[in-house]
């Protein structure tokens, strides 16, 4: 196989437009460093994925991270696939497996052909073959050689613009978008039982029950509208299957917030903006302040507070069985693993200092306790956040 190096490392691309062959494996934007990633490239060729997909997109050499544009709504039902140059870390591994097995069950209306031959039947769910695992390893490496745009993006809280008026038109729009982009996983009625749901270890949330975990309100309280907006924008990275919908116009994301609230009896009819009252403002002082936290002090807190008993000594997360825990989410369903804190993309609620603060102070669902009463002051909170950020080895900045 011939490796073609096309794009010089210092090429300046102010437009963010893809350059020719930029994502070409062998070029600097994609570095295949493991055997699986290299074997996956061969599977990509053997499967002839290139008859529908290009690999042109690449990270800008500097400046804010450029994320790929979303699918244009007019392209619904097209057989031409999107460019995959920046696919690495866009989705979780599980999302890819489910998508290979049944593309239209995951992305409604998708005309990508299923690749059932990459799976073995096993009585229950189909099991990915080694070739499927290698193909996913390859996809996860695409575009991350010099810059991991997804990790960089997840290290900042997304902007949340003021909500528009929650009128009938906005709700209708939200319901239409929900059917198109969300129901395949969360179910038409929001009960978390969409046709793709069974593929995922961390299951799509039961939105009708309104049990949310990624939020800025005290335990047991419903999420703020801004929390829902943030979740829809960010998705859950590589840590779970929830895709990021940053590419939808802001008004559409607000329409989805409204539609999601209407699915839950407890939140129905409250419009937009009211829930925000319950949000607790950040105490750590946001991004700049958290950077100044004292790592060493944070490491001591990590030990004293016993974070490693659930997240592992290295912070990579543990399975429920290994931790000997009976973690349940707010709805009583088992949480299969504690979170991997070592990569910005693996943190499901986002990797900004504010997101870490929310998780630490308010807890995450019923499985991760709140530490608000165990941290003596804001400086200790900042130190703990700084320590967790230092575990993030994902950057190749
Ligand atoms: C007949 C054309 C076709 C072929 C062949 C095809 N795809 Fe696709 N692919 C699509 C279309 C259309 C979409 C957009 C709809 C969707 O996401 O399912 C897509 C979407 C994707 C996505 C999601 C991109 C994103 O981030 O939204 C990935 C990943 C992908 N394809 C990988 C592959 C791989 C790997 C192969 C080879 C095994 C392959 N595709 C073969 C048409 C195709
Ligand atoms: C491919 C499957 C999939 C699709 C499509 C999907 N989600 Fe999710 N969603 C999930 C999973 C899995 C979780 C649980 C994530 C976790 O716990 O890390 C989730 C969680 C959520 C949460 C809960 C976050 C919290 O605070 O607990 C909300 C809200 C949500 N999704 C809304 C949406 C909306 C709105 C859409 C459509 C725009 C959508 N999802 C599309 C799989 C999906
Ligand atoms: C009793 C076990 C337990 C302990 C102790 C614990 N955690 Fe967690 N933590 C979890 C579980 C389980 C989750 C995932 C919860 C879920 O998804 O519902 C989690 C989630 C998190 C998250 C959110 C990650 C994401 O994916 O966005 C952060 C941050 C976090 N923990 C940090 C800490 C820190 C810091 C400590 C120590 C102060 C700590 N945890 C102690 C079990 C624990």
Point out the ligand 1 atom lying closest to the alpha carbon of residue 99.
Answer: 18
Selected from 3.40.50.1370, 3.20.20.140, 1.10.760.10, 3.40.50.720, the CATH number assigned to the domain covering 286-391 reads 1.10.760.10
Give the pair of three-digit tokens for residue 89: 């870390």
Rounded to 5°, the CA angle 37-38-42 comes to: 115
Give the pair of three-digit tokens for residue 144: 């991350």
Q: How far is CA 342 from CA 163, 238, 291, in A?
A: 33, 12, 16
Please determine, for residue 295, whether its predicted confidence score (pLDDT) is greater than 60.
yes
Give the pair of three-digit tokens for residue 183: 């129901």
Nearest residue (CA) to ligand 3, atom 38:
307
DSSP-derived 3-state class of residue 120: strand
Please determine, for residue 89, whether its predicted confidence score (pLDDT) is greater than 60.
yes
Burial class, 153, CB count within 10 angstroms (exposed 0-12 / middle 13-18 / buried 19+): buried
pLDDT, the chain, mean: 88
Q: In sequence order, what DSSP letters do the residues of 3-69 get, joined into one string? A: ----S-TT---SS-PPPTTTT-BTBTT----SHHHHHHHHHHHHTTGGGT--------SSSSPPPPP
Average pLDDT over residues 234-245: 98
- Helix axis angle, 378-391 relative to 295-304, nearest 10°? 90
Q: Hey, which of 69-73, 249-253, 319-323, 374-378 has the most confident mean pLDDT?
A: 249-253
- Number of neighbours of residue 117 by Cβ within 10 angstroms: 11
Q: Which ligand is nearest to the CA of 201?
A: 2
Average pLDDT over residues 336-340: 93
49 in ligand 1 pocket by Cβ < 6 Å? yes
347 in ligand 3 pocket by Cβ < 6 Å? yes
Point out the ligand 1 atom lying closest to the alpha carbon of residue 96.
Answer: 29
Do 182 and 175 touch, CB atoms closer than 8 A? no
pLDDT band, very low/low/confident/very high, at 301 (cuts 50, 70, 90): very high
Which helix (H) or strand (E) segment is 298 a member of?
helix 295-304
Please determine, for residue 208, whether its predicted confidence score (pLDDT) is greater than 60.
yes
200 in ligand 2 pocket by Cβ < 6 Å? yes
Q: Which ligand is nearest to the CA of 231?
A: 2
Residues 6+ apart with CB under 8 A from 227: 212, 214, 215, 216, 217, 279
53 in ligand 1 pocket by Cβ < 6 Å? yes
Q: Which ligand is nearest to the CA of 363?
A: 3
DSSP-derived 3-state class of residue 348: coil
Nearest residue (CA) to ligand 1, atom 20:
81
The pick from 337, 341, 368 for probing ligand 3's pocket by mutation, whose C-beta has the most ligand atoms within 8 angstroms, reads 368
CA dihedral of 26, 32, 35, 37, whole degrees rounded to 10: -110
* CA–centroid distance, residue 204 to ligand 2 (Å): 5
Position of tokens 């290009």?
54
- Nearest CA among 97, 104, 102 for reference residue 128: 97
**Selected residue with higher pLDDT from 78 and 377:** 377
Q: How far apart are CA 390 and CA 343, in angstroms?
A: 10
- Nearest CA among 224, 90, 243, 114 for reference residue 180: 243
Average pLDDT over residues 372-394: 91
Q: How many helices (H) and strands (E) would you count in the chain?
A: 15, 2
260 in ligand 2 pocket by Cβ < 6 Å? yes
Q: Are domains 35-147 and 286-391 of this chain identical in fold?
A: yes
230 in ligand 2 pocket by Cβ < 6 Å? no
Most distant CA pair in the chain, distance: 60
CATH topology of domain 35-147: Cytochrome Bc1 Complex; Chain D, domain 2 (1.10.760)
Do 108 and 183 touch, CB atoms closer than 8 A? yes
Q: Hey, which of 1-10, 105-114, 317-326 has the most confident mean pLDDT?
A: 105-114
* CA–centroid distance, residue 383 to ligand 2 (Å): 30
Q: What's the pLDDT score for residue 22?
A: 43
112 in ligand 1 pocket by Cβ < 6 Å? yes
Nearest residue (CA) to ligand 1, atom 43:
112
DSSP strands (E only) in 108-213: 119-120, 127-128
Which helix (H) or strand (E) segment is 357 a member of?
helix 353-362
CATH topology of domain 168-278: Cytochrome Bc1 Complex; Chain D, domain 2 (1.10.760)
Q: What's the pLDDT score for residue 337?
A: 92
Q: What values do phi and psi take at 5, rounded to 5?
A: -100, 110
Task: Indicate the pTM of the whole model.
Answer: 0.93
Domain boundaries, the chain: 35-147, 168-278, 286-391
């Amino acid at each position: 196989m011939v490796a073609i190096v096309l794009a010089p490392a210092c090429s300046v691309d102010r437009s963010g437009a893809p350059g020719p062959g930029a994502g070409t494996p062998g070029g600097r934007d994609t570095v295949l460093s493991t055997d699986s990633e290299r074997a996956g490239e061969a599977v990509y060729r053997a499967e002839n994925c290139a008859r529908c997909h290009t690999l042109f997109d690449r990270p800008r050499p500097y400046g804010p991270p450029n994320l790929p544009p979303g699918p244009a709504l007019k392209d619904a039902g097209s057989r031409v696939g999107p460019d995959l140059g920046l696919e690495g870390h866009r989705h979780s591994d599980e999302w890819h497996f489910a998508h290979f097995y049944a593309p239209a069950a995951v992305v409604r209306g998708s005309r990508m052909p299923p690749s059932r031959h990459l799976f073995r039947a096993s009585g229950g769910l189909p099991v990915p073959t080694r070739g499927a695992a290698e193909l996913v390893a390859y996809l996860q490496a695409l575009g991350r050689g010099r810059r991991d745009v997804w990790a960089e993006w997840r290290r900042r809280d997304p902007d949340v613009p003021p909500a528009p008026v929650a009128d009938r038109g906005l709700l209708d729009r939200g319901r239409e978008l929900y059917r198109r982009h969300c129901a395949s996983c969360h179910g038409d009625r929001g009960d978390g039982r969409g046709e793709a749901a069974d593929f995922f270890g961390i299951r799509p949330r039961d939105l009708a029950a309104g049990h949310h975990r990624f939020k800025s309100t005290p335990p047991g309280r419903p999420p703020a509208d801004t929390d829902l907006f943030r979740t829809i924008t960010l998705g859950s990275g590589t840590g779970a299957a929830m895709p990021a919908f940053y590419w939808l116009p802001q008004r559409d994301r607000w329409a989805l917030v409204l539609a999601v609230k209407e699915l839950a009896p407890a939140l129905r009819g409250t419009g937009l903006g009211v829930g925000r009252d319950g949000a607790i403002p950040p105490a750590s002082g946001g991004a700049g302040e958290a950077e100044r936290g004292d790592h060493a002090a944070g490491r001591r807190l990590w030990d004293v507070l016993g974070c490693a008993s659930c997240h592992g000594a290295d912070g990579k997360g543990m399975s429920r069985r290994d931790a000997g825990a009976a973690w349940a989410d707010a709805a009583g369903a088992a949480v299969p693993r504690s979170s991997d804190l070592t990569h910005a993309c693996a943190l499901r609620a986002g990797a900004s200092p504010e997101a870490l603060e929310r998780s630490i102070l308010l807890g995450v669902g019923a499985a991760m306790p709140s530490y608000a009463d165990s941290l003596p002051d804001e400086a200790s909170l900042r130190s703990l956040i700084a320590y967790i950020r230092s575990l993030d080895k994902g950057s190749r900045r």
